[in-house]
Amino acid sequence: MTGLFLQNWWRKRRSRHRKSGSRLARGLRWTWRIALVLLVLDAFYLMRIWPDWQQFGQGRALQSQFILNYQAQRKRNPALPPLQWIPVAPDQIPRDLRRAVVVAEDARFYRHHGIDLLAFMDAMDSNLELGKFRYGGSTISQQTIKNLYFSSARNPLRKWHELILTLAMEMKVSKQRILTTYLNIAEFGEGIYGVEAAAQYYWHIPASQLNDYQAAQLAATLPSPKKNNPQTRTRNFTQRVERIYGWMMKQEEGK
């Protein structure tokens, strides 16, 4: 009797294991199928939004998704300030302004290939110290792609698409063109996009006439332009201006 009981128990145990293994294998197969379908759909999405890099590198400045979103918001709320956006050619953006923005936003801009892992790790360390997600560590190249084609939503899928397009842009487009594009579409205040519109709004001069300190002020607006700008002149803004201007002067002395 004992032997028969053990045999029956062992058969049932083996049967349960086979069924469990079969369910696991079936689950893995369906997981791979779903993953493959999602990858194909994602590839089709990227193909649909894939830029014409030749046009990107040579044509006039593109209207960004952020600008289009602002226009849509203003239709719903006419009380918002009118859109101010005046794209300009590279030779209309002074060297000091380019230098100020690179110093403030992406010090290794000319050395990386779109992604700055050192800046990303520094940002994550700062976030851990603060106990909240405040710094993203995005490069100027990443911000250019985000502004042009996406939104400010923080989700992994958007970051993945941003990463793919950023790497592609870095292979196809010159650094000067990337920086010029960014300076033509970055937000410098509510409804104010690009350095030309910002210079005319804050100082009533074209961007080409900005001095080094005004350039530092524009660069200091970029983390939160609606709150911190040459008009609001918050404490955080003025402190950031002085830091950026100091970094610029050190760079100049080091040459």
Q: Count of domains in the chain?
A: 2
Full domain range(s) for residue 1: 1-49
Together in a domain, 113 and 41: no
* pLDDT value of position 49: 81
What is the pLDDT of the chain when averaged over all its residues?
A: 84
Q: What is the pLDDT of residues 140-169, one digit of tens each?
A: 999 999 999 987 777 777 888 899 999 999
**Residue 8 binned pLDDT confidence (cut-offs 50, 70, 90):** low
Q: What is the mean predicted confidence (pLDDT) over 172-188?
A: 96
Q: What is the mean predicted confidence (pLDDT) over 89-108?
A: 94
Together in a domain, 3 and 63: no
Together in a domain, 95 and 189: yes
Residue where a domain stops, chosen among 12, 32, 49: 49
pTM equals 0.81
Together in a domain, 24 and 112: no
Together in a domain, 117 and 226: yes
Q: What is the mean predicted confidence (pLDDT) over 87-99?
A: 95
Together in a domain, 220 and 182: yes
User: Residue 23 and residue 204: Cα distance in Å, rounded?
Assistant: 70
Together in a domain, 45 and 124: no
Q: What is the pLDDT of residues 109-129, one digit of tens each?
A: 999 998 887 765 665 554 444
Whether 33 and 25 have beta carbons less than 8 Å apart is answered as no
Query: What is the CATH number for 170?
Result: 1.10.3810.10
Together in a domain, 21 and 133: no
Q: How far is CA 234 from CA 100, 111, 139, 224, in A?
A: 19, 33, 25, 11
Together in a domain, 122 and 29: no
